[in-house]
Amino acid sequence: MNLQVHQVKLKLDTPKVVGLKEVNTGEEEMDSEEMGIGSAAIKIIVAIVLGFLILAVSSAITFLRTHTTMLLLSLILMFILSKGNVTAYGLKITGNLRLKQTLLVGFLAGLIINILGLALQIEEPSFLKDYTFLQAVVFIWIYASICEEVLTRGLIQGYLSPLRRYGFSIFNFRVSLPVLVAALFFGAMHLGLLTLGLDGFSVLAIVISAFIMGIIAGYYREKTESIVPAILIHMVFNISGSIIGFLENLI
């Protein structure tokens, strides 16, 4: 068997810098408003702060479900920031959404990651065991996927979309800065599982799997300019995890 070693090509797709001015490389049109490195850093900080503020307020408000508050606050901020043009934040169902491709990729990725989790004996959050099958379908597969994607791939990635010309490529798979930041935030969201008594190794594994899912969801969100593929990927990712859990109980 011949083993061929592939070289990972890491390329920063940033504009060339001459002195203190940015020069467009011509590979991608500049957004309507030029943004320097300092402004980009501030925009990232603002996005992360907004995200964590929404999480904090959602946890503090007790008369609504956490995900409901998360969804409402995200939609309100998207409406304000876009001045009513929420399609700029991915809230549209038109265009080539690549539904078959996203469903297949999301399901396969979820299946592989959840099988690895089973092999590593990753502990699942205890509250999941309290859900009936119907509750899991409604609140985890569907509702949680929608709310979390509106926050991460909608609000955060949409807010950072002027920075999409920054990024890197691995084997022709391009990850832009907005996709990366939104995926990192999505992974960090799951650190809260530590407060529920889950062991550190399991939480780390869940954070990493959430980050990987976030990269895939963000990639298709950017390619289609719609949040719908990201929501579907999130859903089938959760469904594949439930299937693996069901098979584990049978064994």
**To the nearest whole number, what is the mean pLDDT of the chain?**
84
Q: Which two tokens stand for residue 21?
A: 């001015």
Which residues of the chain are under the pLDDT cut of 50? 1-33
Q: Identify the pLDDT of residue 5.
A: 38
pTM of the complete model: 0.82
Tell me how far apart the alpha carbons of residues 103 and 239 are, in angstroms, rounded to a whole number.
11
Answer yes or no: are the C-beta atoms of 44 and 182 closer than 8 Å. Answer: no
Which residue from 115, 129, 125, 128 is spatially nearest to 251, judged by alpha carbons? 115
Residue 251 pLDDT = 62
pLDDT tens digits for range 190-207: 998 898 888 999 999 999
**Rounded Cα distance, 114 and 20, in Å:** 47
Residue 72, class by beta-carbon neighbours within 10 Å (0-12 exposed, 13-18 middle, 19+ buried)? middle
Q: DSSP state, 176?
A: E
Please tell me what DSSP assigns to residue 12. Answer: E
C-alpha 44/C-alpha 62 separation (Å) is 29
Q: Looking at this protein, which amino acid is placed at residue 89?
A: Y
Do residues 90 and 221 lie in contact, with contact meaning Cβ atoms separated by under 8 Å?
yes
Show the beta-strand stretches assigned E in the chain.
11-12, 16-18, 21-23, 167-170, 173-176
Instruction: Pick the closest to residue 98 from 188, 221, 3 (CA basis).
Output: 221
The CA distance from 209 to 109, in Å, is 9
Per-domain boundaries in the chain: 35-250
What is the C-alpha to C-alpha distance for residues 94 and 226, in angstroms, rounded to an integer?
8
